[in-house]
Amino acid sequence: MKISCLKGVQDILPDQIPQWNYLHTLAHEIFSCYGYKQIIIPIIEESALFTRSIGQQTDIVEKEMYTFVDRGMRKIALRPEATASVVRAYLEHGLDKTNDSKLFYSGAMFRGEKPQAGRNRQFYQIGIEALGTYNPFLDAEVIKLAVDYLKAIGLKDFKLLINSVGNTKDKHDFGDSLKDFLKDKQADLCDSCKSRYERNVLRILDCKSRNCKKILEQAPIIIDNLSEESTEHFAILKNALEGLNVKYQVIPHLVRGLDYYTNTVFEITHDKLGAQNTILAGGRYNNLIADLGGQPSGAVGFACGVERLLLAAQAEAIEFPIQEKPAVFVIGLGDEAYIKGFKIADQLRQQQIITHFDFQKRSLKAQMRQANKLNCAYVLILGDDELANNNIQLKNMDDGTQQLISLDDLVNYLNKEIIK
Ligand code: ATP
Ligand code: MG
């Protein structure tokens, strides 16, 4: 029976790994410059962590979460996102007391949504969380970090969209105004929005249906209805971004799909990605720490989708500066030379030289072809004569030249040539 990969789930094959690793290494470097430290959080958590933080009436919790009951006891979920887990870990281990309040993570997330280009059921995110303060300059720093990262990847065709959804009371009051506005228009909304009307009215602002968008053109605007405190927060953020020369657009209807956001919300979209064009998204979540049992305190963060970053880089034809380390291929011809060749390969690996060796007992010609396919810089050929004289043939695969070299000089020679 042939079993294939699940729908919406992908294998990341060896030829994609250099790019994949490059994005992660770059994130690590840039996030570290801003004082972030890595955290590894579990893939499974108690479901309640997500229902409580993301919100009962959100797409993720209502429709997308993978849950199971662990040994007839607790309800467990595969993490659909990482913010809730990072906050849980932050509180559980008292990281607020050790000053580890700027954290970054990477890893697989799981959401049972309809698979399409740029939308998977298992996908990877790289993200940061800055915990423990309400200061809007931190929102600006987090956004600048996101932009720095995308620029360091080499991306150019992206846009930063920002908005403020205000504090809890602002969101609540605005929800009421929006309901009033939509009261006599409910029948014209799409089916999803009809049900959002009662359950999560702000999400209607995010609807992609053309008809709903049209209806919303005249709807009240959140930032025109914010409290003084929220308005000031947003103004400081915008000034700080301008001070850092970060270009942004305020999108009055931008809301995020998770309940925990307050004040700042932002997305970075890519111009060449089609329908799933958000490569990075985040915002401030001032209630989450208290909701999960901590002392009330603010926080802000973002997550970006690794698959979408790679699609965006591809769309801009970006070539990552990935340097492949040169490799060598050792060939032993004849039984004795094979045994000696096997040992030479080991010696070279002890010197951190990438070394291939044949285990199929292929002919010399086939091994040369294999070395070529593997892009080896040198092939080392050991026959009976060489074995008897303690030397080896060294073929440079770049220029095709071949020379006889003493086995005693081999490591030195290769180290010098390969480092060069
Ligand atoms: P979307 O509007 O695309 O559904 P979202 O609001 O659900 O996104 P977040 O939960 O904020 O997204 O996730 C942040 C980022 O993670 C997104 O901008 C995107 O790059 C990536 N992402 C989210 N869901 C998926 C998915 N199903 N497949 C691939 N990447 C995803
Ligand atoms: Mg989504």
CATH number assigned to the domain comprising residue 370: 3.40.50.800
Residue 262 near residue 285, CB atoms below 8 Å: yes
Give a yes or no: residue 213 inside a domain: no
The verdict on 392 and 295 lying in the same domain is: no
Mark whether 369 and 305 lie in a shared domain.
no
Mean pLDDT taken over the chain: 94
Q: How many CA atoms lie within 13 A of 288 on its CB side?
A: 35
Last residue of a domain, one of 315, 343, 364: 315
Q: Are 299 and 287 in contact (CB under 8 A)?
A: no
Q: Are residues 40 and 85 in the same domain?
A: yes
Q: Which position has the higher pLDDT, 200 or 84?
A: 84
pLDDT of residue 209: 87
The pLDDT score that the predictor gives to residue 420 is: 60
Say if CB 64 and CB 113 are below 8 A apart.
Answer: yes
pLDDT, position 401: 95
Closest CA to 53 of 73, 75, 92, 81: 81
Is residue 220 in a domain?
no
Mean pLDDT is lowest, of 9-18, 235-244, 256-265, for 256-265
| 263, pLDDT greater than 90 | yes
Of 272, 295, 315, the last residue of a domain is 315
How high is the pLDDT of residue 72? 80
In this structure, is residue 185 part of a structural domain? no
Q: Is residue 208 part of a domain?
A: no
Q: Is residue 209 part of a domain?
A: no
CA of 257 to the centre of ligand 2 (A): 7
Question: CA 213, CA 266: separation in Å to the nearest integer?
Answer: 19
Residue of 101, 161, 100, 92 lying closest to 130 (CA atoms): 101
Structural domain includes residue 154: yes
Question: 237 and 264 share a domain?
Answer: yes
Q: What is the mean pLDDT of residues 237-266?
A: 93
* Cα 8 to ligand 1 centre (Å): 14
**Percent of the chain at pLDDT above 90?**
83
Beta strand 102-110 with 37-38 is parallel
Asked if residue 302 and residue 343 are part of one domain, the reply reads no
- Do both 50 and 137 map to the same domain? yes
In this structure, what token pair is assigned to residue 416?
């010098």
Residues 32-78: tens digit of each pLDDT = 999 999 999 999 999 999 998 888 878 888 889 999 998 888 999 99
Q: Clarify whether residues 126 and 263 are in a common domain.
A: yes
Record the pTM.
0.93
- Distance in Å, CA 301 to ligand 1 centroid: 14
Ligand 1 centre to CA of 32 (Å) is: 24
Question: Residue 58: its pLDDT value, please?
Answer: 82
What pLDDT, on the 0 to 100 scale, is given for residue 59? 83
72 and 141 housed in the same domain: yes
Max distance between CA atoms of the chain, in angstroms, equals: 95
- Identify the pLDDT of residue 99: 79
Q: Is residue 182 part of a domain?
A: no
Choose the final residue of a domain: 272, 292, 315.
Answer: 315
pLDDT at 259 > cutoff 80: no
Q: For residue 332, what pLDDT is reported?
A: 96
Q: Which ligand 1 atom sits nearest the alpha carbon of residue 256?
A: 6
Name the least confident of 68-72, 75-79, 296-300, 398-402. Answer: 68-72
Do 256 and 118 fall into the same domain? yes
Both 272 and 372 in one domain: the answer is no
- The whole domain housing 404 covers 327-419
**pLDDT tens digits, 185-210:** 988 999 989 988 888 898 898 888 88
* CATH for 129: 3.30.930.10
Ligand closest to 109 (CA) is 1
What per-residue confidence (pLDDT) applies to 331?
A: 98
Same structural domain, 241 and 100: yes
Same domain (yes/no): 30, 135: yes
Residue nearest to atom 6 of ligand 1 (CA): 257
Mean pLDDT of 316-341: 94
The better pLDDT of the pair 161, 57 is held by 161
Residues 362-377: what's their mean pLDDT?
95
Average pLDDT of the segment spanning 363-383: 96
CB 78 within 8 A of CB 43: yes
Confidence of residue 260 (pLDDT cuts 50, 70, 90): confident
Average pLDDT over residues 118-125: 96
Structural domain tally of the chain?
2
Whole-number pLDDT of residue 335? 94
| CA nearest neighbour of 235 among 136, 325, 110 | 136
In the reported structure, the alpha carbon of residue 60 is separated from the centroid of ligand 1 by a whole-number distance in angstroms of 11
In a domain, 254, yes or no: yes
Lining ligand 1 with CB less than 6 A are 81, 111, 113, 118-120, 123, 125, 256-257, 276, 278-281, 303-305, 307-308
Beta strand spans in 234-375 (E): 249-250, 262-270, 278-284, 299-305, 327-332, 354-357
Instruction: Using the atom order of ligand 1, give the atom closest to the CA of residue 280.
Output: 18
